[in-house]
Amino acid sequence: MTLTRVVGKGRTSEMPASELDALRGAYVKCAVDVGTGDARFAYHLASERPDWLVLGLDALDEPLGEIAYRAARKAARGGRPNLVLLRAAIEALPGELARIADEVDVLLPWGALLEGIVRARPHVVGGIAALARPGALVQVTLNGEIWLDSTPARYADLPVPTLEYVAEAIEPEFRRSGIDLGPARYLTAAEAKGLPTTWARRLGHGRSHPRFVHFEGVRRG
């Protein structure tokens, strides 16, 4: 399957597997941000970890354009040579991404990705697991706030991801996919508001106790 790299606003290019392999070999580790959205979290990771390759994946390429354009600049002007943004859906990952990651992050997912995790759909959870190398850290943070006020119609029948629900409904599918999760917890208000994403600033604004559910685990060999 072809890798489609987002290189700027409205611009994509085909990325040969050999190019990705060369990049992966140039860095000590690799982090993958699944459902990266506007890619601000992926850009943050690339900035904080210059010795890591960071991949941002999203099914839509349009929101990635601004950060892709910035990342392509010279380093002095905000460029991040260790950041690669790819148009890819977790349900149909290119084979080149299998077991590429030492860390997989799913931060405040939306749309089909959120539904797939909350409903523990095997093709979504399995896609997350497929990215991870044995021993890789897998971290998921869900936005529990959409059920507090006016729930979008799309999610009217979606179960609320409480800590108990994660343990009973989500954890077993992750385990079947090869990821051993620890107990879920709610982020503190400071943790939630400190998440480096546009969504976190929006969702946590004005709440003393944002309801962000976090769970993480390790990919078995």
Question: Cα dihedral angle (37, 41, 42, 43), rounded to 10 degrees?
Answer: 110
Token output for 89: 């859906």
pLDDT band at residue 202, thresholds of 50, 70 and 90?
A: low
CATH 3.40.50.150 describes domain 1-97: yes
Other C-beta atoms closer than 10 Å to the C-beta of 135 total: 10
Please give the Cα distance from 205 to 141 (Å, whole number). Answer: 17
> Does residue 204 register a pLDDT over 60?
no
Residue 157 CB contacts under 8 Å (≥ 6 apart), including other chains: none
Q: pLDDT tens digits for 127-173?
A: 999 999 999 999 999 988 777 766 777 777 899 899 999 999 999 99
Cβ pair 161, 118 in contact under 8 A: yes
Q: What angle do CA 212, 47, 80 make, to 5 degrees?
A: 125
pLDDT of residue 190: 84
Longest dimension (CA), the chain: 48
Other C-beta atoms closer than 10 Å to the C-beta of 209 total: 11
Residue 204: which of 143, 162, 113 has the closest Cα?
A: 143
Average confidence score pLDDT of the chain: 92
Other C-beta atoms closer than 10 Å to the C-beta of 132 total: 25
Return the domain boundaries, the chain. 1-97, 98-112+130-221
Q: pLDDT tens digits for 87-96?
A: 999 999 999 9
- Write down the residue that tokens 């604004």 correspond to: 205
Question: Cα dihedral angle (4, 2, 130, 21), rounded to 10 degrees?
Answer: -80
CATH code assigned to 98-112+130-221: 3.40.50.150
Token output for 41: 């979290």
Task: Classify burial at 31, counting beta carbons within 10 Å of its beta carbon; exposed 0-12, middle 13-18, buried 19 or more.
Answer: buried
Instruction: Please check whether the two domains, 1-97 and 98-112+130-221, share a CATH topology.
Output: yes
Please give the Cα distance from 160 to 108 (Å, whole number). Answer: 14
pLDDT of residue 30: 98
Q: pLDDT tens digits for 171-201?
A: 999 999 999 999 999 998 888 888 888 766 6
